[in-house]
């Protein structure tokens, strides 16, 4: 681990009470660990605001495979995407529905465009992009 530098933060008492509740209920070892997670989350969120930032994500979708040409359209969008598709999983939930996850890497704006194209297809019942990035530490 890099050198750890201590710094102090001043908080109103009620905010500190809320912080301690979160640390306790979410199982954090310390206030510091909780604060580090908050900072990392903010860095990831900011990376996604920069359209050219290299980020990663997971697109989760549920769709009916009975919709005309839907599976082929999803495949075509994936093949034409200007992003790296790292992994794809496909599960048959029941006779009518499929669950698919697509792990992607690339520029934030291109990943979001990819997710919107798939989410907008007729027959896609659910689509959600989980945005991630690898913070420096």
The pair of three-digit structure tokens given for residue 30, joined into one six-digit string: 């310390």
Feature table: binding site: 79, 90, 92, 98
DSSP state, 12?
Answer: -
Feature table: binding site for Ni(2+): 79, 90, 92, 98
Q: What is the pLDDT along the chain (137 residues), one digit of tens a residue?
A: 578 899 899 999 999 999 999 999 999 999 999 999 999 899 888 889 888 889 999 999 999 988 889 999 999 999 999 999 999 999 999 999 999 999 999 999 999 999 999 999 999 999 999 999 876 65
Q: Are 99 and 62 in contact (CB under 8 A)?
A: yes
Query: Model pTM?
Result: 0.81
């Amino acid at each position: 681990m890099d050198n750890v530098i201590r710094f102090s933060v001043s908080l109103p008492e009620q905010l500190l009470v809320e912080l301690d509740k979160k640390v306790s209920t979410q199982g954090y070892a310390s206030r510091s660990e909780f604060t580090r997670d908050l900072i990392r989350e903010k860095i990831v969120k900011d990376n996604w605001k920069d359209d050219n930032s290299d980020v990663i994500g997971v697109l989760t979708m549920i769709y009916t495979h009975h919709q005309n040409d839907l599976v082929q359209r999803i495949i075509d969008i994936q093949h034409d995407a200007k992003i790296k598709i790292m992994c794809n999983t496909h599960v048959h939930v029941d006779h009518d529905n499929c669950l698919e996850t697509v792990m992607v890497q690339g520029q934030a704006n291109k990943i979001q465009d990819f997710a919107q194209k798939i989410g907008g297809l007729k027959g896609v019942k659910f689509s959600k992009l989980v945005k991630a990035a690898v913070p420096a530490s």
